[in-house]
Amino acid sequence: MTLEELRDQIDVLDRQLVELLSERARAALMIGHLKVATSLPVYEPAREKIIYANVRAANKGPLPDIELTHIYERIIDVMRNVQKEEIAPKTELADAGTKLDSEVND
């Protein structure tokens, strides 16, 4: 393949990644709303460990597991911030004494 063809392939893959990340964010928002509605904590370190294990198990390379884990750490951090921005203002208006901010930022 030529350099241009490889770059075109990367452009297509990037668009697919954007759509998948948006889909993941929508699911994370729905989960956040369910957690707030059922008084469950937003931050769940045990769940994050499961996600990292799942990602490493699915990894067939060439990215090393540690690098893929770093990428997912950032993805999860961003998803928590999305939840905070979407849910926190509504929750704070309803109940100014919630722990959502501290749980989301842990």
pLDDT 10s digits, 28-78: 999 999 988 998 887 889 999 999 999 999 999 999 999 999 999 999 999
- pLDDT in the model for residue 105: 46
Do 104 and 45 contact (CB within 8 A), yes or no?
no
> If pLDDT is split at 50, 70 and 90, which confidence band does 89 have?
low
Distance CA(59)–CA(55), nearest Å, equals 6
CB atoms within 10 A of CB 15: 10
Tell me the CB-side half-sphere exposure of residue 28, using CA atoms within 13 A: 24
Do residues 79 and 19 touch, judged by C-beta distance below 8 A? no
Considering only CA atoms, which of 79, 75, 24 is closest in space to residue 52?
Answer: 75
Question: Are 36 and 91 a contacting pair, CB within 8 Å?
Answer: yes
- Residue 42's pLDDT is what? 79
Spatial CA neighbour of 101 closest among 75, 79, 81 = 81
Q: Work out the angle at residue 65's Cα, subtended by the Cα atoms of residues 21 and 49, and round it to the nearest 5 degrees.
A: 70
Total domains present in the chain: 1
Q: Residue 22 has what pLDDT? A: 97
CATH of the domain at 61: 1.20.59.10
**Prediction pTM value:** 0.77
Which pLDDT band holds residue 94 (cuts at 50, 70, 90)? low
Q: Which domain holds residue 57?
A: 3-105
